[in-house]
Structure 1
């Protein structure tokens, strides 16, 4: 396993705040605008890490006033350098894979970064700067450092009260909307980074009264941010319940019921937003819709992954083979596994489409995270319930094809994730029977990548892959949740007492069931 922060060596030394600022070799105004638009394309559709209009105005002032502009706001110059760093990382071809793309500009920016006391003096700009820092750090596989910087942004927001409903009459509609976008960007990044490193979120939803984006802004951009916030909120609920530090306070099945119902409701809302934005019969692939949909399926994988890990433990014990596991599992357990596998499949299909259209993010980490998460699920399932994923060779080959593409782009973290998946392949090899070993060997031969079975282009009509298309529909999710409810109603009082202490109590046929020849696990 690769340790966080070892992909690249990025270090900097703080410059004295009174020292002269180095302004040599800065990009021209035209090239800066090009880089800014690259960052805007890759980030501002899903987040609001900076205000492009305000940045452009300051950029022109900088080219008119020079050092006078820097002296009036050194923090803006830090923002300028960070946008250049991110932009270069997104558009240039990496020549030296040992050096992080854009790192020279990033180090230059960080050497000028004010301390926390000075950041408070320009808090709104500071929060946006910290978001840019977090985005860069998480992209170079320094997730823990990114989590620390977004934590500073959260605290600046809390000090300024951005998590509360802002007084619009006092500050004006435009400024209120600006602060609201800043807050929800920080919120989304905090939730995502918390998920990536397994740390608690910085603030509870109950303490937030800031209106959701899109309430007053009925634009497509506002509605997309609204959906993204809701998915991030659901992700936090999953982390706080399924991955709680304490033992689950209620059976795992109850949590999954709630998640499935919330996901079904979310799917309907997503479908309404993106279908209304579809451009007639063009059927263009939308990166925005694709990435929102990837986040949606990532929530499902997060919620159901513990069940898969529990089944793997049962297999590692050696008491049951894969066929025995399938015979022992209750129908609703298989339904949940199918939900998990459908989301993994759908994730890989969306990523494959982005790959075919040259729309994969080769620097930002979120596509890479989705690839690894889905491939991890598929690999585990191939050893646990191989009959439920007969197309494992095709999907694993697609995973490696996409990872190899990112590696060719100079993405060192992608190389790490590929090594980890290959290691997982070797670890599960003893669990496979003779018939499965041939399949496992086939998935290792990813240099000759078989074409995936033809993707249904209808999946990407209007917007890339609507929820439920090619995966489980909202009605199917609700049906599984209802099945879990029905199972709960048939539990005896003794079973209820057991379920109260064990989150896994409902997934297996009961040991005292005369029709069950296998022991409960």
Structure 2
């Protein structure tokens, strides 16, 4: 046997961190053969190196450990007070302690230490790395009026604000001026001091019956497909009674408040020219809030009151009063839960009509709460394990039921991402990748479902492509904030992409994003105008990147017509910076510029199959390449 020329390879007594974690043979050299072949950083932990010690040495360590533990327990337990009624001078041993021999105590301590050691070995080398968006001290920013705002880690608005601030500080070595920032509730002026007063002679005139029907139908078309804001049968019955048989106390009812809110929405949808800073329908909306009773009174008619609170929250969200909208939708959710709308309501006891109405109300509240909470960057307050309400039935619109179901799934995916990927500890370890994998898989499945259910056959799956198709069909939403939010964050990604990798440059898609912004701005949406200026500011800052020497601002940075700043021409914003070559500064009326097909490497994006393939490729062992990349390239 010894003369047959075979070699016996001895196993190394020491292994690098990677080989130890993968339970593969390590050469023991520095670097080891496996890491050297894969061009990975080879790390040896001296604590894992095996050494030979005597049994007596281990027993001595056990005795010292037991002695230290006894001393700690003696110091932690105060001496008994003989004057206390609970004092008993009974020093006889507890029978339960008779079985705990010193050897067993040592073995218990050894097991605890072993378990702790195993837990440490299972931790990733990257466990010390953290996600800067969800770790560290909480981020706050202040407006010029002194009000402080919390920057939620998962909020699109706060993410853009952080990118702006970090880029400005890096280039100019000074904080971004607060006058250049748009804050919550600073866009529109409702002309109201917030005090609730009784109805008076200044009550705004309501529209004629035919005009009211037109505005109500506009609301049904624009947001009634997804959000339930009123019960059509009951609402229209009261409407006919209001116009045909006026009653002295009609303007003091909940229905009248509800009516004012719906008409305010209708004016917001149909009015395309902005007059000053007062939004369309503001006088009706303010009058409705002035007449709105206390929540203790609203609970007497919880069904319609919940619909009213949804209307208030959605209208405020459309005006960029995010904090107020979030509070109102929170009230609506608690009122709905108090009525049991979040569970499976018995039809045989409550009746078909009431149950169907409550289901529509509940899922509207649920979706709006998830969206508004996510946009605020705050944690979700409702556990989905406590929700088992059925979807509402729409006998004549199967697609409507499917749309609500997909919207609910998307809301849950977003909430899961906010609660896991943006977890409080922010640790970039194995859990981070596994959570990312689960989120990608859920998004891929939902994308397949959307493709099968949607009648739109889009060649390009990007958000900008979808919004562009809606723009062509005249279906782009210009009053409600969600299409604007989508185009805003999509454009942010397109802007910061080339700053990370110069090859990731898509001017044609930026051109389309710019055209969508212009469409929303021309409809009279002031928020879109400010968001567009914020993107221009980010574009100009990134055009100065990279640079070696700090720059100096040639003029103060400010948004046009911001309520927090004096009015200034739109072009003065860009005059403070060097010109940029990005497509956001291109004039679409010139008839020249890039087309969508120019970005051939970006048009198709990732299909659902490709997203699922990316998710499936992520395994727990893949944390190694992430941690090595972060360590070697000094990321974070």
Q: Are the aligned partners of 2:219 and 2:269 in contact in 1 as well (CA < 8 Å)?
A: yes
The one of 420, 431, 437 equivalent to 1:257 is 437
Q: Deviations over 1:386-429 (max 9, x none)?
A: 21x33x22222222222122222211101111111112112222
Counterpart for residue 581 of structure 2 = 441
For residue 488 of structure 2, the aligned residue among 358, 372, 379 is 372
Q: Is structure 2 residue 300 aligned with structure 1 residue 121?
A: yes
- Aligned: 1:394 with 2:534: no
- CA deviations 1:223-278 (Å, max 9, x no partner) are 2111111111111111111223333485321111001111122122223322xxx4
* Cα distance in 2 for residues equivalent to 1:268 and 1:426: 38
How far the C-alpha of 1:20 sits from its partner, in A, is 6.8
Check whether the contact 2:507–2:594 (CA below 8 A) recurs between aligned residues: no
Query: Residue 181 of structure 1: SS of its match in structure 2?
Result: helix
TM-score normalised per structure 2: 0.61
Deviations 1:453-481 (A, max 9, x none): 3579xxxxxxxxxxx99332221111101
Matched, 1:157 2:336: yes
Give the aligned partner of residue 424 of structure 2.
245
Q: Distance in 2 between matches of 1:469 and 1:44?
A: 32
Identify, as 1 or 2, the structure richer in helix: 1
1:473 maps to what in 2?
A: 607
Q: Are 2:404 and 1:272 aligned?
A: no
* Distance in 2 between residues matched to 1:168 and 1:443, nearest whole Å: 56
Deviation of 1:214 after TM superposition, in Å, equals 5.3
Aligned to 2:183, the other structure's residue is in SS state coil
Task: Give structure 2 stretches of 5+ with no counterpart.
Answer: 1-180, 549-576
Q: 1:489 corresponds to which residue?
A: 621
Q: Which whole-Å CA distance do the structure 2 matches of 1:469 and 1:258 have between them?
A: 26
Q: Which stretch shifts more, 204-213 or 122-131? A: 204-213
Give the equivalent residue in structure 1 for 2:151. none
Match of 2:71 in 1: none
1:350 and 2:479 matched:
no
| TM-score calculated relative to the size of structure 1 | 0.74
How far apart, in 2, do the equivalents of 1:415 and 1:257 lie?
A: 37
Report what 1:80 is aligned to.
259
Q: What is the aligned-residue RMSD (CA, Å)?
A: 3.1
1:406 and 2:585 correspond:
no
Determine the C-alpha separation between the residues in 2 that align with 1:451 and 1:39. 37
Matched, 1:453 2:567: no
Cα 1:361–1:171 change in 2 (3 A) is same
Render the CA deviation track for 1:141-191: whole Å, top value 9, x for unaligned: 111111111011011012111111111110122221210110000000000
Query: Is 1:197 the counterpart of 2:311 in the alignment?
Result: no
> Does the residue aligned with 1:369 lie in a helix, a strand or coil?
helix
Which position in structure 1 is the counterpart of 2:95? none
Query: By how many angstroms is 1:111 displaced?
Result: 0.9
Kept in 2, the 8 Å contact 1:351–1:367? The answer is: yes
| Conservation of the 8 A alpha-carbon contact between 1:62 and 1:69 | no
CA distance in 1, matches of 2:437, 2:484: 29
Q: Which has the larger radius of gyration?
A: 2
Gaps of 5+ in 1: 279-284, 294-341, 457-467, 496-504, 513-517
Counterpart residue number, 2:478? 362
Residues 230 and 307 in structure 2, CA contact (< 8 A), matched pair in contact too: yes
Alpha-carbon distance change, 444 to 212 in structure 1, aligned in 2, over 3 angstroms:
closer
**Alignment match of 2:541 (pick from 424, 427, 433):** 427
Alignment partner, residue 65 of structure 1: 245
Q: CA deviation at 1:445?
A: 2.6
Provide the aligned length of Structure 1 versus Structure 2.
421
* Cα distance per residue 1:306-336 (max 9 Å; x no partner): xxxxxxxxxxxxxxxxxxxxxxxxxxxxxxx
- Contact 2:264–2:284 at 8 Å: present in 1 too? yes
